[in-house]
Amino acid sequence: MKKFSIYCIALVAVVFFVSESFAAVGNAGCGLGHVIFKGDTGKTMQILAATTNGTSGNQTFGITSGTSGCDEAGNVVYNEKVENFVAKNMDNLASDMAKGSGEYLTTLAVLLEVKEGNRASFNTKLQSNFSKIFTSEKVTSKEVVANINDVVS
């Protein structure tokens, strides 16, 4: 008997589930469950001060604000995407790539789903093709990602 009521409710719930999953999750602000990715693409080599909202080293009595950003629709972009990681960490990534090792390079490999057994050759390949990836100081993160794809494929 209970099963019928469950069936009735489930039918109703499925309708809500479907509509819920297409709506933006959460409220308008950026709270938990929202990893922030500004929709920046093609940014040129970022100066450290502009990539974060932290205080600069010289500012006396500065306070690091705890706010975080979201894109306009408040959409959740949960899975780390290569482009966003490259855009936000371009300098440190370039540095690691030139060295052929480092945390940022490893993170790139993880995002590109390079298996652990293939990481060594991945690192070497990118290092020896450094100039093809970071072509000049004006290179944009979008170009870097495209160049990396060209090199590894």
Partner 1 sequence: MIISKNGCRIIIPAFFFLLILINNFTWCKKLNSEEIISSDQLIVKYISIARELKLYNDKYWHILLHYKRGLFGTRSLIDDPKYFLADDGKYNPKSELEAAITALFANDEAVDKKNKPDKCRFVARFNWLVEKLKIPEIELPDIICDSYENMMNQIKPTSVTLVFPSGYLDSPASMYGHTFLIIETEQNSKLLAHGINYMAHTRESFGPIFALRALLGSYKGYFSMMPYYQKVTEYSDLENRNIWEYKLNLNKQEIKRLMMHLFELDNIYSNYYFLDENCSYNLLFLLDVARSSLGLTSEFTTTVTPVDTLRVIRKKNLCDNPVFRPSKTSKIIYLASKLTVKEQNIAIKIAAGKDDISQVEKLNIPKEKKIILCDLICECLQYNLAINDISKIVYGKYFISTLKYRSSLGQHENILKTMKVPDYPENGHKPNRLALNTGVRNSEVFQEIEYRPTYHSLIDSDEGYNPGSEIVFGEIVARYYYEEKKIKLHKFNLIDVYSIPASNKFFFQPGWKLLTGVKQTFISEDDESLVAYLNAGGGLAYDISFLGRLYLFGDVETNGAKKLEKNYSLGAGGTFGLLSNITTFWKSHLYSRALYYGLGDKHEFVEAVAQQRFRLTTNSSIIFGYSFVNTYEKNWHEFIFKINLFF
Nearer to partner 1, 49 or 146 (CB): 49
**Does 102 interact with partner 1 (rule: CB under 8 A)?**
yes
Closest contact distance (angstroms) between CB of 57 and partner 1 is 5
Cα 10 to Cα 126: distance, rounded to the nearest angstrom: 52
- Show the site string, 46-85: x = touches partner 1 by CB under 8 A, - = not: -xxx-xxxxxxxxxxxxxxxxxx-------x-xxx----x
Among 22, 73, 138, 153, binds partner 1 (CB under 8 A): 138
The residue among 71, 70, 76 whose CA lies nearest residue 23 is 76
**Does 153 interact with partner 1 (rule: CB under 8 A)?**
no
**Does 112 interact with partner 1 (rule: CB under 8 A)?**
no
- For the chain, the distance separating the N- and C-terminal CA atoms, rounded to the nearest angstrom, is 59
DSSP 85-153: HHHHTHHHHHHHHHHT-SHHHHHHHHHTT--GGGHHHHHHHHHHTHHHHS-STT-BHHHHHHHHHHHH-
Among 30, 82, 114, 151, binds partner 1 (CB under 8 A): 30
**Does 117 interact with partner 1 (rule: CB under 8 A)?**
no
φ, ψ for residue 114, nearest 5 deg = -80, 125
User: How many residues interact with partner 1 (rule CB under 8 A)?
Assistant: 80
Closest contact distance (angstroms) between CB of 15 and partner 1 is 10
